[in-house]
Amino acid sequence: MQPLHLQALLPLQSIMSLLPIVLTLVFFLCVQASSAATTDTILAGQALAISDKLVSKNGRYALGFFETSSKSSQWYLGIWFNRVPKFTSAWVANRDKPIRNTTLLALTISQDGNLVIINRSTKSIIWSTQASITRNSTTAMLLSSGNLVLTNSSNSSQVLWQSFDYPTDTLFPGAKLGWDKVTGLNRRVVSWKSLVDPAAGVYSFELDPSGVNQFLLTTLNSSISYWSSGVWNGKYFASIPEMTGSRQIFRTTFVDNDKEKYMTLNLADETMVTRNLVDVSGRSKMFIWVEGSQDWTMIYAQTKAQCDVYAVCGPFTVCSDNADSHCSCMEGFNITSPDDWELEDRTRGCSRNTPLDCISNKSTTHTTDKFYSLSCVKLPQNAPKVAVAARVSECAKVCLSNCSCTAYSFSDGKCSIWHDELINVRALRCSGPTNSTGETFYLRISAKDFNRSKSNRTKIIIGIATGTGISAVILFVLILLVIIWRNKRKISGRTTDGVQGCNGIVAFRYTDLQLATNKFKDKLGEGGFGSVFKGLIDGSVAVAVKRLDVAYQGEKQFRAEVSSIGAIQHINLVKLVGFCCQGSKRLLVYEHMPNLSLDVHLFRSNTMVLNWTARYQIALGVARGLAYLHDSCRDCILHCDIKPENILLDASFVPKVSDFGMAKLLGRDFSRVLTTMRGTAGYLAPEWISGVPVTPKVDVYSYGMMLLEIISGRRNSGTPCCSCGSIDVYFPVHVAYKLLEGDISCLVDPMLNGDVNLDEAELACKVACWCIQDVEFDRPTMGEVVQILEGLVEIGMPLIPRMLEAMAGSTHSAKS
């Protein structure tokens, strides 16, 4: 709407007579301006101010001006997720041209028909769609898909420009990713520069420029590809077999014709709110908005490891996948820009503390530069010059003779020389059974930094041995204490190895556990992670010793994980007493539970039948234990193997969750163990099959399957109950239908002879059916399960788990 300008030339009487009309017009304009602020369209003559926004008809997306940081005072025009309370940008128009003066800023349609950001005081254009428009009558609209389009006002189907053709870091559902063969337009996703700077970053996700039908993660500056989707085979990309799963969030389409070659991802469920992007660290990630947690949950990522991303830490750094902070500077270097580093912009990497001697003293042929060795690393990928050498010292001489040489390595009689910046040095794990094939890398640094490093190491050694001003008498006392400590270890028949006293965990020798378990003869049970044996410590203390069949972590990391797990204390979690880490042997020592595991009491006819009260309290106790693992520990701990065999009962039948933390202890082989269990466990969530990263909701699913067994006293996959007749119905699906019919008595264990609180039984069945929902964010959290079972929160009727129904071939679907 064009602003209305009143001429100030009328006499006062005329103005007073026009006042009612003026007030009416002002009111009309205010109402129109207010409504325009929430519209999805900008017409010719209208303007979107700094405080206004467009909202798509479905309310999912909004377009307007925003700041990425209150400190920067830089503004951008962009599209964000309107219904997500956590502000999340999805597209930025002026990503490389931030706006600092916003007082007279507006988004409007210019005289040539383009959509522009304009400074209304200077009439200067800050950003424009720059479309080739023959007729200047145009309209801008934010569609429900999140696409901002500029169309012909008389023919809205004629799109003159669209934001989908110019994606930033996010791929919208339905948007094309690929080439327009006619115009040469390359639609690709490019990361932000940092967490607060939407300028084009280092990494992109795009169609292979060589013409192969695959997508690549690449670096923009060097065009180096570090991940490939694999070739499209008509159904899925070769490196993403997860696309073939029965439960897919997106339907993928790949088109290759005379005009275009592109891929689109369309939501299978339009109610989902998803986010696909290439983040600042160079990984392609997929998120789903979870209302329960009010946050984005990552469900997929490529590359799998952060250090697989090319040059993710910048020059003169070492990347480690096993550290909390992936990137660290090499010896003799410091972070070039700490502020950028904190915002995950590490492109500048690290810089030398002291220039090399050969650079500072160019007139001399002699150099005092030294070499610092980095062992167990994967060498940089930039091709080095190779020379034949008989020994390491010859390599050093070759490197020192050239001032541009920054490092060398020696292997198999060959000398590899690196010049200038060092990129992509990666730390490997070279201890324990994994024994990665790392190499030693010799980094050239100044003598000053080398001596400082050597001095620091010496100070550490001296500090440990003597301390500041330590006398020979104190040193003698320390030696005496060590002798006494060793004697105590021999007497007690166990060793602390630096772990006892930290959370009270005891480090046992393997021979002592052999003796305690009578050479592992009294087996209590066997699971996917290993066998459990009964033992006696000091001849009287009963323990359960779990011998892990697969654990490929190094000793140091295994001890660290044991220490962290040992610190977890909860009435519904089995207490870890100690461990053994000797050579390749890994054993865990737990407190012994006299009433064995839950499966013994549910499925064996020769044991005591648990009454309903005991069962309900066991279900509640297990839920409390899992809620503690998920929400109350320093790090969220996933159990990943909840089943009756892993629920132990103490003398008072209080349930104790065992085997928690196995994902941390088993390291890289954990997924293989779970894979071997898929055929028989019956408790694994669909996420394991689809291959997406798992969340605490996998434990919720397993808990729901186990809760059904607690209610019924039977295996879920066993024969159907008597009231089902001859129809073979998968029991979890049968429970869902019986809930709808209001018939609970058929579902409860007949061994209870009707002595059941049916209200509690119905509540437990509802909880179980909600827990086993196909889509993970439809499931409650374990904290919510506790509140429901305690009667603090009401719960509605669950949906039928359709995936389970389809897998089981239930006949209920035909009846309904």
Average pLDDT, the chain: 80
CA distance 122 to 129: 19
pLDDT band at 364 (very low <50, low <70, confident <90, very high): low
Domain 37-160 CATH class label: mainly beta
Farthest-apart Cα atoms in the chain, separation? 113
Say what percent of the chain tops pLDDT 70. 78
**Would residue 353 be called left, alpha or beta, if left means φ above 0 and alpha means ψ between -120 and 50 degrees?**
alpha
Tens of pLDDT, residue by residue over 181-206, are 999 999 999 999 999 999 999 999 99
What is the CATH number that goes with domain 598-815?
1.10.510.10
Is 641 in the active site?
yes
Which tops the pLDDT comparison, 128 or 17? 128
Tell me: pLDDT of 119 over 60.
yes
Residue-range domain boundaries for the chain: 37-160, 167-310, 317-446, 492-591, 598-815
Q: Which of 406-410, 451-455, 560-564, 614-618 has the lowest mean pLDDT?
A: 451-455
* Average pLDDT estimate for 563-586: 83
Marked catalytic residue, from 279, 641, 659, 749: 641
Say what percent of the chain tops pLDDT 90. 39
pLDDT computed for residue 413 by the predictor: 80
Residues 6+ away with beta carbon under 8 Å from 415: 386, 387, 388, 389, 394, 395, 398, 408, 409
Tens of pLDDT, residue by residue over 776-785, are 888 999 999 9
Q: What is the DSSP string of 460-517?
A: HHHHHHT-TT--HHHHHHHHHHHHHHHHHHHHHT---TTTTTSTT-EE--HHHHHHHT
pLDDT band at 610 (very low <50, low <70, confident <90, very high): very high
* Average pLDDT estimate for 176-185: 95
Tell me: pLDDT of 773 over 60.
yes
Tens of pLDDT, residue by residue over 499-551, are 443 456 888 899 989 999 988 888 887 766 678 899 998 777 889 998 887 65
What is the CATH number that goes with domain 492-591?
3.30.200.20
pLDDT computed for residue 526 by the predictor: 75
Q: Which of 81-90, 685-694, 754-763 has the lowest mean pLDDT?
A: 685-694
Cβ-count burial 23-41 (b if 16+ within 10 Å, e if not) = eeeeeeeeeeeeebeebbe
pLDDT band at 807 (very low <50, low <70, confident <90, very high): low
Tell me: pLDDT of 460 over 60.
no
Superfamily of domain 317-446: Hepatocyte Growth Factor (3.50.4.10)
Which tops the pLDDT comparison, 80 or 416? 80
CA distance 769 to 321: 38
Tell me: pLDDT of 317 over 90.
yes
